[in-house]
Amino acid sequence: MTAAIEFKKVVKSFTRKDDGIQYILNGVDFSIPAGKTTVIAGGSGQGKSVTLKLILGLMQVDSGRIFVHGQDVTGVRGKNLEQLRTEFGVLFQGSALFDSLTVFENVALPLRERTQKSEEEIREQVMSTLAQFELTGHDEKYPAQLSGGMQKRVGLARAMQLKPSIMLFDEPTTGLDPVMSQEIYHLFARTKAEFGFTSIIVSHDIPKIFNLADQVILLQNGEVDIFGSPEEIQWSEKPYIQEFVKKTMGDIYQSHLVE
């Protein structure tokens, strides 16, 4: 299976306040297969969001290499980085909508800035996307006038405009109630089925995510501790993984144990 993204011995560290060095990623190797859903899990401060930022070129590695569709993109800058980013769509933790633009303008932005389409074509595409994401009638609203779930939908609609081959989701259900979270997962499943992108999800919401994942990467102490199917993670005998899964899966995990 071809890899959409590969990390080879990637090291990323930060200088702590006491002048010590904290290795967030310490020689991490993994491969994310094209067309599949990979979940990056781990406790707080284990490097999940840093991994996303490294993929997107928002941060640079200390050492090691990152490959996207087989091409070495480590340290790529300028126009090449811009070109690389057209491969990606990102749904940010807080949606990151432009608060001075309406829903329509937010979704239209990538088309206006990155394509040669006429205003009429842009309007047609944006209105069709808004209908697809059940946002019809909200196009003139500003992000502050929308619920958290709707903001996520607008964020996803915006990210999909340039038809990226790789979608990155940073804690897609953080701050949402269970009903909204469920809605986002349905939306994710529907969008993925339609567009067939490679997806990388960073999330703490393990039970729901496990249903969507093809593989899970569990980061611990700067290293990939487990890299495998959701089942492999779920039934790992490592005590801290049992604790992590138990804590995040709660009742579901307990019921499995009883079975």
Partner 1 sequence: MKKNPVARLGDTGLYVLTDLGRMAIYLMYAFRGTFRRPFRWKEVVLQINFIGAGSLIVIFFTALSTGMVLGLQGYYSLSKFGAEGMLGSAVALTLIMELGPVLTALMVAGRVGSAMCAEIGIMRISEQIDALDCLAIDPFRYFISPKFLAMLISLPLLTAVFDVVGIIGGYIAGVGLMGVSPGSYIQGMQTSVTNHDIQLGVIKSFVFALLVVWICSARGYFVGEIRGAGFGAKSVSRVTTQAVVFSSISVLVFDYLLTAVLL
Residues interacting with partner 1, by CB under 8 A? 18, 56-58, 82-83, 85-86, 88-90, 92-94, 96-99, 109-110, 113-114, 158, 162
CA separation (Å) from 93 to 35, 90, 235? 22, 9, 29
Nearest C-alpha neighbor of 39 from the set 255, 222, 226, 180: 226
Cβ–Cβ under 8 Å, residues 95 and 154: yes
Q: Residues with Cβ < 8 Å from 131, sequence gap 6 or more?
A: none
Q: How far is the CB of 114 from partner 1 (least distance, A)?
A: 6
Closer by beta carbon to partner 1, 2 or else 79: 79
- In angstroms, the CA 169 to CA 200 distance is 6
Torsion, Cα 252 254 255 257, to 10 degrees, reads 130
Q: How far is the CB of 224 from partner 1 (least distance, A)?
A: 24
Closer by beta carbon to partner 1, 85 or else 204: 85
Q: How far is the CB of 81 from partner 1 (least distance, A)?
A: 8
Cβ–Cβ under 8 Å, residues 29 and 9: yes
- In angstroms, the CA 56 to CA 4 distance is 13
Closer by beta carbon to partner 1, 110 or else 172: 110
Closer by beta carbon to partner 1, 3 or else 109: 109
Q: How far is the CB of 159 from partner 1 (least distance, A)?
A: 8
Closer by beta carbon to partner 1, 79 or else 239: 79
Structure tokens at 204: 């703490």
Q: How far is the CB of 38 from partner 1 (least distance, A)?
A: 18
